Amino acid sequence: MGAKTFVQKLGVILRWDHIVESAYTTTDEKKVYFRLRRRRAIKQMKQILPTESQEQVAFMQWVDMFFNGNEEFVFAIPNGGLRNVLVAKKMKAEGVKAGVPDLFLTLARGGYHGLFIEMKRIKGGSTSKDQKDKIERLRNCGYKVDICKGFDEAKKSILEYVQMRGDK
């Protein structure tokens, strides 16, 4: 029996947290049921985990409150995301560069010229080769660069940076 037939046969049972044992349920049907349940659970986990964009929006809302009217010290650098080909060409001509971190704090602290933050998802986000290269170059130029997995790490990073004093 195929997965589709099994799903149609069980109908309501797929919404339950457990499979009902009955004379009609075969071992193959149970395997298909648990595979479907696992796929659904994985899909739900992906929906529960916020995207990089959602994490950054929450962080910027917190920044607005933290800097209390001086939020212009932190700004986003619009260098990622999917765009129309014409818009992408225009932005490239205007100077948008691949690999530049997502956020910049313009305050100099602890011997650094400023703080760049590269936001990533809590799970699954990774830095590209372009990003690693740009991050290394920025660090060599005297900037602090943190790669933050989610809102909490970004908040911790900015709080630690703002409290820095003196040289590196």
Query: What does the pLDDT look like over 56-89, one tens digit per residue?
Result: 899 998 888 888 776 668 888 887 777 788 888 8
Mean pLDDT, residues 26-41 taken together:
65
Distance from C-alpha of 50 to C-alpha of 125, rounded to nearest angstrom: 11
d(CA 47, CA 117): 24
Q: How many helices (H) and strands (E) does the chain have?
A: 6, 4
Angstrom distance (rounded) from CA 70 to CA 48: 32
Residue 132: predicted pLDDT? 94
CA 15, 19, 21, 23 torsion: positive or negative? Answer: positive
Strand partners, 116: 104, 145
**pLDDT value at 5 more than 70:** no
Length of the chain: 168
- One of 3.40.1350.10, 3.40.50.970, 3.40.190.10, 2.130.10.10 is the CATH number of 52-162, namely 3.40.1350.10
For the chain, give the mean pLDDT.
Answer: 78
Neighbouring C-beta atoms of residue 112, cutoff 10 Å: 20
Q: CA separation (Å) from 65 to 68, 106, 149?
A: 5, 17, 21
- For the question of whether the overall pTM of this predicted structure is more than 0.85, the answer is no
- Residue recorded with tokens 């049921």: 33
Kindly report which listed range (40-44, 78-82, 114-118, 126-130) carries the lowest average pLDDT score: 40-44
Assess whether pLDDT exceeds 60 at residue 118.
yes
Strands of 46-143, DSSP E: 74-76, 103-105, 115-120
Quote the pLDDT of residue 87.
85
Helix (H) or strand (E) holding 148: strand 144-149
Phi, psi of 131 (to 5 degrees): -65, -45
Mean pLDDT for the stretch of residues 91-103: 87
Give me the pLDDT at residue 18, please.
44
Q: Is the pLDDT of residue 2 over 80?
A: no
Confidence category of residue 20, pLDDT binned at 50, 70, 90: very low
Contact in structure between 149 and 125 (CB atoms under 8 Å): yes
Domain spans of the chain? 3-48, 52-162
Q: Which of 22-26, 29-33, 87-91, 161-165 has the lowest mean pLDDT?
A: 22-26
**What's the CA gap between 94 and 42, in Å, rounded?**
40
Most confident of 6-10, 39-43, 151-155: 151-155
